[in-house]
């Protein structure tokens, strides 16, 4: 995996058209864990379209507190169309560069952005401001 690629000019994406896949931040994962119907619908739409879903391991670490009590989340990350992305050495360097350029400090948010950019996916987030501070052009779905 390489570094950050340039972002295409995009805007907030609704749950339908133009969807190329989903990358979840911690807020999106927490919304799923709380059975948020919007998130359930997004996931169902992605599955229906045969789209991949990316979960950065850093976002999962922020969302998971008690795996035994978070059965919905644990089932979700084991689905065939879900790709759990680790923060390896190359990704760590890319995340560090993104944080330096943006003047921000949240490693998990930067990892989410990096994963979404690499895959061309839409970010599912409860905190769009943090994601957009890192990549103003990225597609988002607010939950």
What is residue 18's predicted lDDT score, i.e. its pLDDT? 75
Contacts of 138 (CB under 8 A, 6+ apart): 7, 10, 113, 116, 117, 123, 131, 132
* Dihedral over Cα of 73, 78, 81, 84: its sign: positive
- Walk me through the domains of the chain, giving residue ranges and CATH numbers: 22-142 (3.40.50.1010)
**pLDDT band (50, 70, 90) for residue 78:** very high
pTM above 0.85, yes or no: yes
pLDDT in tens, 23-33: 999 999 999 99
Residue 140 pLDDT class (50, 70, 90 cuts): very high
């Amino acid at each position: 995996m390489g570094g950050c690629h340039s972002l295409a000019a995009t805007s907030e994406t609704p749950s339908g058209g133009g969807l190329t896949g989903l990358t979840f931040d911690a807020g999106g994962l927490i919304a799923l864990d709380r059975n948020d119907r919007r998130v359930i619908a997004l996931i169902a739409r992605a599955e229906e379209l045969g789209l991949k879903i990316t979960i950065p391991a850093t976002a999962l670490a922020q969302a998971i507190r008690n795996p035994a009590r978070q059965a919905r989340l644990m089932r979700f990350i084991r689905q065939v169309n879900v790709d759990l992305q680790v923060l390896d050495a190359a990704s760590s360097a890319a995340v560090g560069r993104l944080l330096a350029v943006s003047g921000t400090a949240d490693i998990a948010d930067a990892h989410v952005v990096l994963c979404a950019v690499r895959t061309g996916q839409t970010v599912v987030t409860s905190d769009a401001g943090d994601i957009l501070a890192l990549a103003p052009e990225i597609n988002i779905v607010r939950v």
